Amino acid sequence: MAENGKKLHIAVFPWLAFGHMIPYLELSKLIAQKGHKISFISTAKNIDRLPKLPPNLVPFLNFVKLPMPHVEKLPENAEATIDVPYEQVKYLKIAQDGLQESMAKFLEDSVPDFILFDFTSYWIPSVAKTFNIPTAYFSIFIAAFLGFAGPVPGLNNDYEIRKTPEEYTVPPKWVPFETTVSWKLFEVSRIFEASMEGDEENVSDIFRLYKTLEYCDVLLVRSCSEFEPQWLKVLEDIHGKPVFPVGQLPTTSYEDNTMKIDTWREIKIWLDKQEKGKVIYVAFGSEAKPSQNELTEISLGLEISGLPFFWVLRIKRGEYDDELIQLPEGFEDRTKGRGIVCTSWAPQLKILSHESVGGFLTHSGWSSVVEAIQFEKPLVLLTFLADQGINARLLEEKNMAYSVPRDDRDGSFTHHSMAESLRLVLVEEEGEIYKEKVKEGKKNLCYPKRPACWQRVKFVIFGSQVRFSTRRISSSGIYICGKVWALKSRAGMLQCEFVPRQAFEGVNLVALIRWTQADTDHGCTSRDLAGGEVLKDRSHHSQEPSTSTCAGTSDMEAQNSEMEIGLAVGGAFLSSALNVLFDRLAPQGELFKMFQTAKQETGRHYAWSSDCAK
């Protein structure tokens, strides 16, 4: 919560794709649950197609409809990626760029305390700066994808932009640990020209991403420390600014009387008749569309696998897509009763939750991956575009998924390899590892039983003042011995003072550690304020020499006054620290002022640390 109980106004501006808008909406709902006001900004048609809000959140979440700019080559009424063929998506980006004036007017009139934005609207920081509004890039991509993209070339480093597809098929040199995460040649070749090079009409995606990473104040990532601790550390190291994992944001649904209940009822009747754990669910998201050859091989693979299947198939991308794809002749007749092909809307969450579904053939879009893990469904992967290749490698590395074998050069695969992949994961003993790892993933990603990460800082205390010399700055007011400490800046120093506990009412601070020299000497540990769980016992550790000693103080003074405090936050849902982050980084917040002062004096950002809780 904000200082003195003030509620914050946070603007949210995602890219014009439902794979981006839905995670932004989930994050917005979680913030709104804390009583903050959200302005969710998009075009009218997109907002009208978003899921309904639960009634209790309606007063806190306001949808702001901006008029879609006219772009000559963009089809009429096309306002999202699902409305256009893949080759016309660049015109949507040009159209979103045309919203700068409308966004500036909104920010001037409403003056939100904070704005979350997507990488496509890389111009947001410059617009927001005019009104002194802090910005956060919320990445719906996982940390591995951003880490693989790397640092902004030439910005306090000697890295250069990779210029060939082949350079993206190996782990980059700034990743300090062994990993198999990289693109296959066919994956990066499909997106290289548009994403890496751009053209005379549109700037490249990599340009948009680098400008976003360079000028945003804070980086929020759809991830958690249980899943990507090393990759999150890479992001902190290469960007030198606050990096916050906000969790996996599993999709939530609210049903009202307008839901297509009859559609689900018919699907459920069919699923109820199938053997438990034997149905393969097939869906490739709102953007991925197989080629005709890929569609044929998928179809024949499903047919010869002998497995029952439910397939949600998009045969075209929007009404202006004239490249139709067709199922093989006689396919539906030959698989009648064993399989269903649905070319309209289907309730994916409900289907995945059904006990007869034993696996998910997916494009590796992260929302679909999280939904599968949420319901413990092992994954068979068939990538098509964007971040999907990186997602697939990370899942393979963790033995949580199996990719259909393909030719590295052109991505081709056979129906035999498709059938074998499906049977391996759903039927064969060899596939048990994927089921086990997905179950483990659910415990860690969706419902963690332990805190996920720490926001840590070491302070040296002199009376009422706190002097810091490391680059690790705490993100929030923190409970210590049942009270709240607020951080205030004064000429490069931090001043601690008590503030009323009521000012933080409703902020779910899960746990903390307080450690001083006296605590260690007496074998004491602090405990979870909610349940008394000991999270970390420092009584068996010898006191290390201080790393935060300030000039003009002795080592003994520093040791006796140093404390290490940690704020533990759940990994799968909104970090508790995120609530307070908005408070402290809002223009009236003291950390915001401190960062601005520090940046002016030193010319650099301070970095915050997210470490796995042990």
Active-site residues: which are they? 20, 118
CA distance 143 to 206: 16
Question: Torsion over CA of 591, 592, 593 and 595, rounded to 10 degrees?
Answer: 80
Q: Are 561 and 462 in contact (CB under 8 A)?
A: yes
Q: How far, in Å, are 456, 464, 496, 543, 544 from residue 560 at the CA level? A: 19, 15, 17, 10, 12
Length of the chain: 614
Percent composition of the chain: helix, strand, coil (DSSP 3-state, to 5): 35, 20, 45
Q: Both tokens of residue 340?
A: 């269903």
Q: Are 194 and 93 in contact (CB under 8 A)?
A: no
Question: How would you write 440-474 as a 3-class SS string?
Answer: HHHHHHHCCCCCCEEEEEEEEEECCEEECCCCECC
SS3 (DSSP) at 104: helix
DSSP string for residues in 567-610: EEE-SSS--HHHHHHHHHHSTTSHHHHHHHHHHHHHSS--B--E
* Strand ranges for 166-285 from DSSP E: 218-221, 243-245, 279-283
CA distance 193 to 199: 8
SS3 (DSSP) at 134: coil
